[in-house]
């Protein structure tokens, strides 16, 4: 079988995963308007190529928080990778290491962070954090991540409560008995569990900007906030001294009706003005999507669902193949728009349709 684009991997995953698993991975909140608009928004943006440039040599490398990666696409934090492939996040970490890019490991991984590091000891990793009501659990996670050499903490800020995902409710989705959230083994013992294998309502709904200060006092690692969508929150993030922002609507899985990530990026870039690094997730499916996001101000993009499709196909090999396709498409889009390196990608390359 020859898979030539990310939508081919999506079709393969939909065909081969159990229906309940597929619907969990694909789910959006409520009517899924935001989930679907994440994809449509890229199609509304047009490219303005600069021609007659020497593009015989193309350099796709960039840096994020001072570390060089081979191209500006990383792997976003998603939970439960063993739903897609038996070795789960171990294969994800190996593929990211092989492609020399960043993997943001999820709090809700089905492999522990120690196992992830052991699987890909030379990998470049950030750790995604949810803060739970039992604050000691989050403290332990941050300290473990720091001791294991993770290079940043990515605080997800858009989940005081989980969004309503109708298919999961209809399917009574449960994490299979043979899987667990490995990072919490020994922490939430003897407590009733939710469908995700953790205590029900364990997420801390009482987060504030003071908790960003609290986290900064807990670790020397850079702090990246994931889930920012407005210039107002961007300005607050800059004021609170974070090192990065991931423009994200959680793949459309939280509040339905918020903007597509690529649309929100425009006002966030205007608010930041290069004071912190900006990244983006949501809806990236082609190399031209990557180019458009960088042209509008992102330093790097992260893929969520597509990484799970790659795992479903052939584990580590499948995810590496998917990343290579995206890298090749990005390189081609650079060449066809006249960009020899990432620094030449700018706002002049894109236009929005006139209304």
Residues carrying an active site annotation: 250
Give bridge partners of residue 351 from the DSSP assignment: 46
Q: Are 263 and 294 in contact (CB under 8 A)?
A: no
Helices and strands, counts by H and E, the chain: 12, 12
Q: Are 276 and 186 in contact (CB under 8 A)?
A: no
Helix (H), strand (E) at residue 193: none
| Helix then strand then coil, % of the chain, to nearest 5 | 45, 15, 40
Distance CA 160, CA 165 (A): 15
Q: Are 124 and 149 in contact (CB under 8 A)?
A: no
HSE-up of residue 3 (Cα within 13 Å, Cβ side): 24
Q: What is the DSSP string of 273-314?
A: TTSSEEEEESS--SHHHHHHHHHTT-SEEEESHHHHHHHHHH
Q: Are 313 and 10 in contact (CB under 8 A)?
A: no
Spell out where 130-207 has E strands: 153-156
Distance CA 247, CA 276 (A): 12
Distance CA 180, CA 25 (A): 17
Which two tokens mark 273? 């003005």
Q: Print burial letters for 7-34: b (CB count within 10 Å at least 16), e (below 16).
A: ebbbebbeeebeebbbbbbbbbbbebbb
């Amino acid at each position: 079988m020859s898979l030539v684009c990310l939508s081919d991997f999506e079709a393969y995953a939909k065909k081969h995963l159990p229906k309940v698993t597929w619907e969990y991975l694909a789910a959006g909140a409520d009517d899924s308007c935001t989930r679907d608009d994440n994809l449509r928004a890229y199609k509304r943006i047009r490219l303005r190529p600069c021609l007659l440039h020497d593009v015989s040599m193309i350099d796709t490398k960039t840096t994020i928080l001072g570390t060089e990666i081979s191209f500006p696409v990383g792997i976003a934090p998603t939970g439960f990778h063993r739903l897609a492939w038996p070795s789960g996040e171990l294969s994800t970490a190996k593929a990211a290491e092989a492609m020399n890019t960043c993997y943001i490991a999820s709090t809700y991984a089905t492999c522990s962070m120690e196992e992830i590091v052991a699987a890909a000891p030379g990998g470049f990793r950030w750790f995604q954090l949810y803060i739970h009501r039992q604050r000691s659990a989050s403290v332990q996670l941050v300290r473990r991540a720091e001791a294991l050499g993770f290079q940043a903490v990515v605080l997800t800020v858009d989940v005081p409560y989980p969004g309503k995902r109708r298919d999961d409710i209809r399917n009574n989705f449960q994490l299979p008995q043979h899987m667990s959230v490995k990072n919490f083994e020994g922490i939430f013992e003897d407590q009733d569990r939710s469908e995700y294998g953790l205590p029900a309502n364990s997420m801390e709904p009482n987060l504030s900007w003071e908790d960003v200060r609290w986290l900064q006092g807990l670790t020397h690692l850079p702090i990246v906030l994931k889930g920012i969508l407005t210039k107002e929150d961007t300005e607050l993030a800059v004021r609170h001294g974070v090192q990065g922002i991931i423009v994200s609507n959680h793949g459309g899985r939280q509040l339905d009706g918020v903007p597509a990530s690529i649309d929100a990026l425009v006002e966030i870039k205007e608010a930041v003005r290069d004071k912190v690094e900006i990244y983006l997730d949501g809806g990236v499916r082609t190399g031209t999507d990557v180019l458009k996001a960088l042209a509008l101000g992102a330093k790097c993009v992260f893929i969520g669902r597509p990484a799970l499709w790659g795992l479903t196909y052939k584990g580590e090999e499948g995810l590496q193949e998917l990343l290579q396709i995206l890298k090749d498409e990005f390189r081609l889009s650079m060449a066809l728009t006249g960009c020899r390196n990432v620094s030449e990608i700018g706002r002049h390359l894109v236009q929005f349709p006139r209304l």
